[in-house]
Chains A and B, each alone.
Chain A
Amino acid sequence: MKVLASYNIKGGVGKTSTAVNLGYLAACEGARVLVWDLDPQGAASFYFRVKPKIKGGSKRLLRRKRQLLEVIKGTDYRNLDLLPADFSNRHLELLLDHGKKRRRGLRKVMKPLRDHYDYVLIDCAPSISLVSENVFDVSDALLVPTIPTTLSLRTLNTLIDFRLKHGLTDVQLLPFFSMVDRRKNLHRLILERPPKKLSFMLKTFIPFASEVEKMGVRRAPLATYAGHSHAAIAFEQLWTEVKSCLTKRHNKPPWAAKSNENF
Chain B
Amino acid sequence: MSWACQYSIPSNLSVGGLTQRLQRLVACRIDTQQSTKRTFYDTYDWRVYASGHALEEQCMNNNTATLHLRSLNEPNAQAVATTSRNSLRFLQDLPTGAVRRQLASIIEMRALLPVASMRSRMTSLRLLDNNQKTVAYLELEENHMLNAAGHTQGEAIRRACLVPVRGYATSARRLSRLLTKDLGLEPADADPLIAAVAASGRRPGDYSSKLDLHLDPSMRADAASKIVLRRLLDIMQANEHGIRNNIDTEFLHEFRVAVRRTRSALMQLKNVFPDRSQNRYRRGFQWLQQITGPARDTDVYLLKFADYHALVAPPLRSGLAPLRNFLQQRRNIQYRRLTSGLDSARYNKLIADWRAFLDQPPPKRTTPKNATRPIGDVANERIWRLYRRAIKAGRTIDDNSPAQDLHELRKTCKKLRYMLECFHSIYPTGEIKKLIRALKQLQDNLGDFNDLQVQSEVLQQFSKEIYAKGRAEPETLMAIGNLVATLRQQRELERQAFYGRYEKFARPVVAAHFRRLFHDAAEGATNNQAP
Contact = CB atoms under 8 A, between A and B. Distances in A.
B131 A262 contact: no
A262 B100 CA distance: 11
Contact of A51 (B91, B96, B131, B314): B131
A261 interface: yes
A159 interface: no
A74 B314 contact: no
A262 B106 CA distance: 12
B97 interface: yes
A72 B168 CA distance: 10
Interface in B268-320: 306, 310, 314
Contact of A49 (B96, B133, B167): B133
A76 B133 contact: yes
Contact of B97 (A30, A71, A74, A262): A30
B385 interface: no
B314 A253 contact: yes
B397 to A, nearest CB: 33
Interface in A30-70: 30, 48-51
A44 to B, nearest CB: 14
Nearest to A253: B314
A113 B5 CA distance: 26
Contact of B131 (A49, A81, A253, A261): A49
Contacts of A261: 96, 100-101, 104
Interface in B492-517: none
Interface residues of A, number: 18
Given A50-B133, A76-B134, A255-B314, A262 B167 contact: no
The size bracket of the interface on B is: 20 to 34
Contacts of A182: none
Interface centre among B80, B166, B306, B310 (most CB of A within 10 A): B166
B132 interface: yes
B166 A73 contact: yes
Contacts of A78: 80
A263 interface: yes
Interface string B157-184: 0000000011110000000000000000
Given A261-B101, A261-B104, A81 B133 contact: no
Nearest to A78: B80
Contacts of B100: 261
A117 B182 CA distance: 38
A255 B314 CA distance: 7
B183 to A, nearest CB: 24
B451 to A, nearest CB: 18
B32 interface: no
Nearest to B105: A262
B82 to A, nearest CB: 8
A74 B131 contact: no
Contacts of B80: 78
Contact of B132 (A30, A49, A74, A263): A49
Contacts of B133: 48-50, 76
B104 A263 contact: yes
A81 B133 CA distance: 13
A262 B165 CA distance: 32
B92 interface: yes
A9 B134 CA distance: 34
Interface in B75-118: 80-81, 91-92, 96-97, 100-101, 104
A74 B166 contact: yes
A262 B132 contact: no
Contacts of B126: 76
A73 B310 CA distance: 42
A72 B166 CA distance: 7
A49 B130 CA distance: 9
Interface in A217-263: 219, 253, 255, 261-263
A263 B92 contact: yes
Interface in A75-107: 76, 78, 81
A255 B96 CA distance: 19
A73 B314 CA distance: 45
B297 to A, nearest CB: 22
A11 B89 CA distance: 53
Nearest to B314: A255
A73 B167 contact: yes
A107 to B, nearest CB: 24
A154 B96 CA distance: 44
Contacts of A219: 131-132
A261 B132 CA distance: 40
Contacts of B314: 253, 255
A51 B100 CA distance: 35
Nearest to A50: B133
Contacts of A76: 126, 133-134
B101 to A, nearest CB: 6
Contact of B167 (A30, A74, A255): A74
A222 to B, nearest CB: 18
A51 B130 CA distance: 10
Given A30-B97, A49-B133, A261-B96, A74 B168 contact: yes
A46 to B, nearest CB: 9
A253 B315 CA distance: 12
A51 B133 CA distance: 10
A50 B171 CA distance: 14
B29 to A, nearest CB: 11
A77 to B, nearest CB: 9
A76 B168 CA distance: 12
A49 B132 CA distance: 7
B313 to A, nearest CB: 9
Contact of B165 (A30, A74, A253): A74
Nearest to B165: A74
A48 B314 CA distance: 47
A219 B134 CA distance: 13
Contacts of B97: 30
18 contacts: A48-B133, A49-B132, A51-B131, A72-B166, A72-B167, A73-B165, A74-B165, A74-B168, A76-B126, A78-B80, A253-B314, A261-B100, A261-B101, A261-B104, A262-B104, A263-B91, A263-B92, A263-B306
Interface of B: 80-81, 91-92, 96-97, 100-101, 104, 126, 129, 131-134, 165-168, 306, 310, 314
Given A49-B131, A73-B167, 15 more contacts: A30-B81, A48-B133, A49-B133, A50-B133, A71-B167, A73-B165, A73-B168, A74-B167, A74-B168, A76-B126, A76-B133, A219-B131, A253-B314, A255-B314, A261-B104
**4 A-B pairs with the lowest CB-CB distances in the bound complex, closest first:** A73-B167, A74-B166, A49-B133, A74-B165
Interface of A: 30, 48-51, 71-74, 76, 78, 81, 219, 253, 255, 261-263
